A and B are shown apart, each in its own frame.
Chain A
Amino acid sequence: MDPSGRWNLHVRDEERLLAEAAEYRGESLWQDAWRRLKRDRTAFWSMIFLAVFVALSLFAPLLPLPSPIALDLKAEPQPPVWTELGNRGFDYTFETDDDYKLAYWDLYWHDKRLVDVRKAVFGDWQTGRWFGTDSKGRDLLSRIVWGSRTSIWVAFAATLCSLVIGVTYGAFSGLIGGRVDNLMMRIVDVLYSIPFIFVVIFILTFLSEPRQDLETESLVDKGWVFFIVIGAIYWLTMARVVRGQVLSLKNSEFIEAARAVGASTARILFVHVVPNVLSVVIVYLTLTIPAIMLFEAFLSFLGLGIEPPKVSWGLLAVDGTDAINPIRTFWWLVVFPAGAMGSTLLALNFLGDGLRDALDPKLRGKH
């Protein structure tokens, strides 16, 4: 700066700066996070593992697995066989809707189409007894994969439910503050005080009132009740966590700037606040999913969850507990379902850890 107080900038410098600026490519939060996530080996592989698992459960009808419900009664569960890759035992034909119920249960239409594709591609071929069978001769591998559908989807749907309610509620409460905040948080406190296992049991029992007329009335699908009830209850902690974050954010400069240019509360909420609490939300989510999976397992264990012949990891766990005893242990009934559940939960935790680091805005640009 020269003594006259004016910038003495040469035209050449100006051009150089502009060119530099044009070359400089901004990096969004997501790109940055993705880059850092890829660098975190454990988290990255956990993510791949989970993606494969979710894909497996999503496309379970496509896989050449034996029927998860076909009984093959023997006096005892059969141990795994690793010498036989597969056999031509899947001799079902799928013409009418009832045919699907023989090999599976009441499937949704898209699953039926997937089953058709499987039948067209693999024909009668199905995998061998890789994981052994359970006490009624049903293939354990198939049951684990089909069971993952219940468990994973209960977890995801319920988590999504808690995400939407919890984040909106918490962010709104924190942002508005004052009396509204106070009232909204007291409501959460009240809901917290209700022992929610009783609520779930109560609702499920209430919904399974006896039918008066068998022909017309349809039975309530307990799976959906699960999604809703569990989701509706798990949002409480989420709301609190989010509110806490918002309280610390709402006086920061960028929020004030947004307010100064006249942004609406909703816009501030969803465009400026929510992305900044994401790191906390995601960490909490990765902890919620395992909790919900375990809860589903627990309810199924109590006989309040998924009803046979449908299967979930919880039911497999029930069968597994029978297999542990001092006289005779059917180890495969314990090891494989527990392994599937354990590795999924572990992967979720690793991924959550990695995501937290990757998404933390305070760590942006650092390597």
Chain B
Amino acid sequence: MNRAWKGPLLRQAVALLLFAGLLAGLVGVAGSARLERADFVFNNTGEVQSLDPATVTGVPEGRILRGIYEGLCVKDPVTVRPLPGSAASWTKSPDGRVFVFDMRDEARWSNGDPVTAHDFEFSFRRFLLPETAAEYSYLLWKVVNAQAFCTGKDADGTEREVDWSEVGIKALDADTLRIELEDPVPYFLELMAFYPLFPVHRASLEAAQREFPDTWNVEWLKPERLVCNGPYVVEERRINDRIRLRKNPMYWDAKNVALDTIDALPIEHWGTSVNMYLTGEVDWLDGSIPPNLVPELLKRQDFIPKPYLGSYFYRVNVTKPPLDDKRIRKALSLVIPRRAIVENVTKAGQAPTWSVVPWKELDPENPPLEGEAAAEEARRLFAEAGYGPGGKPFPVIEVLYNTSETHRDVAEVIADAWQRELGVDMRLKNQEWKVYLDSQTNLEYEVCRAAWIGDWVDPGPLNFLSLFVTGGANNKTGWGNAEYDRLIAEIGLEQDPAKLEQLMLDAEAILLEEYPVLPIYSYVTQNLIKPRFGGLHGNMLNEHFPKFWYWMDDEELAEKLADLPPDLQEVPPGGPSGGKYAPVGRARQIGRN
């Protein structure tokens, strides 16, 4: 009997073992493919274009870059005023033209190298080099000789070759960076906390350039190669899945960084995104909320929109007739049903705007034309330009927008108004974000949905006015006006706030006369965020630095909820009930700098 059983038993055992092995393997594979939930998960609303700070302009990119790099300054989470970052301190000359930054001694790159003034000089030089093609490069043009270095031309258009040694950015030693401006720039320190001006690690960049002569600009940003100096490093990047950030142990202020891991998801579909928030898979949505839900969300504790320095508008490609006629552009702008759009499409408290500068108070004496009066004026302008009844038929216009339901909804409402009031046939065309950005840059559109978010708070309007200087990288309309350029240049020189205000009004008036863009509404922040989450405040720039983020414990949460209006609906607070504070303990995190 024993003999008879031995064989089959052994065989069964082997079979079972193999099966168990197979199962274990499967579980292992499945387990390793699935990442554990991060301490904090947010929806970044799209795949980032790049992690190279010099070349990106989008909001999703900014959210990541603020986590993995640190500029000379960071911004206060509430007031968004500059605080010391990689620079421990700075001095400003009395005329506001020369800044000397004293680098923080303990600041380190994630590979242990010290963060030096030379790193910043290298990064700023790279940022200005024409071959980097940084769209934001104009931000530094106020530095002595920087514009000539970047474009080969001075501000007045005279051609000039400039060597880097003549540009006003100098690392005096590893510890000291001196920046000399041609004119005082009131928002210069704010710029130093702005993500395009974050530093890059020279050694790893150059190593990648040697190793991959053709594809280095992809290779050096791969998680295993990327060296950064921010509170977080990129641990993993899975296209169309997530970017996983992990706390950077080399960061100089690591003891004050509360969260160990952060996930940024690239979910474009808003319905999915809200569902994930409601089921607790995501802790923070910045925008990307289906407008249908906004009226419901406004009743909740976790959705409190605040004014946001952002403007939603349509760019017009003025190089394509008949859109080169400003009467046409003005007529198209006049009949946009702005109030209907903010009340019934976006619904979160956005304000209709007739200027590209957001949150602009309307002049009560001279309110903008609306409704039937505006439509009549628009038809008159159309007739004057030779279109409309009795005139030439107006060509079909294509409106480009990036794939998203709100943009489609807004476009449909505008299309309806243009058709009804002016008989303009409009077609909608949507493109994925990167393609859409390229189409705009190359002027491959007719009318295109666009938005701009301010990069500094003071002076706010200049964010928007400076976009439309002739040939500016973010102009993207083909429009230019010498008088306008002159005014913008003068704004840079002006120290007196009252005169500054007037100059900005004058510049704005030109835009309002010429309509290279059709303003639609001013933004509100739409942060849908778990109430327990701390360190992320709805500020005017909606700029949030991950280094300040943490989870509140029950006590702090109760205090926060007590301050909210009492009629709001209670929601699950999210996060761990004991909170998650920085390793130094539960010091009040806000304003501790």
Contacts and interface: CB of A to CB of B under 8 A. Distances in A.
B225 interface: no
Contact of B446 (A76, A214, A307, A325): A214
Interface in A94-108: 98, 101-102, 106
B343 A322 contact: no
Contacts of A69: 416
A210 B439 contact: yes
A326 B281 CA distance: 14
B60 interface: no
B425 A322 contact: no
A330 B296 CA distance: 12
A325 B416 contact: no
Contacts of B425: 101, 106
A303 interface: yes
Contact of A219 (B290, B322, B396, B445): B396
Contacts of B430: 303
B168 interface: no
Contacts of B428: 307-308
Interface string B292-332: 11011100000000000000000000001111000000000
B223 to A, nearest CB: 28
A322 B445 CA distance: 28
Given A214-B323, A215-B322, 8 more contacts: A71-B413, A74-B344, A213-B320, A214-B320, A219-B396, A321-B269, A322-B290, A325-B274
A101 B419 contact: yes
Contact of A76 (B292, B322, B408): B292
Interface in A46-76: 69-71, 73-76
Contacts of A75: 295, 343-344, 347
Given A210-B445, A211-B446, A135 B409 contact: yes
A327 B293 contact: yes
B322 A214 contact: yes
A136 B323 contact: no
A295 B395 CA distance: 31
B419 A102 contact: yes
A69 B293 CA distance: 22
Interface in B411-430: 411-413, 415-416, 419-420, 423, 425, 427-430
B397 A73 contact: no
Contacts of A219: 396, 398, 427
Interface residues of A, number: 36
Interface of B is mostly: helix
Contacts of B270: 322
Contacts of A213: 320-321
Contact of A322 (B271, B427, B444): B271
B217 interface: no
Contact of A135 (B291, B416, B423): B291
A326 B278 contact: yes
Given A214-B397, A324-B271, A327-B293, A73 B413 contact: yes
Interface string B267-297: 0011100110011000000000011110111
B405 A322 contact: yes
A208 interface: yes
A179 interface: no
A71 B439 contact: no
B340 interface: yes
Given A210-B439, A214-B446, A322-B292, A98 B423 contact: yes
B403 interface: yes
A3 interface: no
A229 to B, nearest CB: 18
Nearest to B412: A308
Interface residues of B, number: 48
Given A303-B403, A325-B274, A326-B275, A309 B292 contact: no
A307 B292 contact: no
Contacts of A303: 403, 430
B44 to A, nearest CB: 20
A308 B430 CA distance: 10
A328 interface: yes
A77 interface: yes
Nearest to A99: B423
Contacts of B504: none
A135 B408 CA distance: 12
Nearest to B443: A210
B293 A328 contact: yes
B345 interface: yes
A215 B403 CA distance: 27
Nearest to B446: A214
A307 B416 contact: no
B395 A214 contact: yes
Given A73-B343, A135-B409, A214 B321 contact: yes
Nearest to A98: B423
Given A75-B343, A210-B444, A303-B403, A328 B292 contact: yes
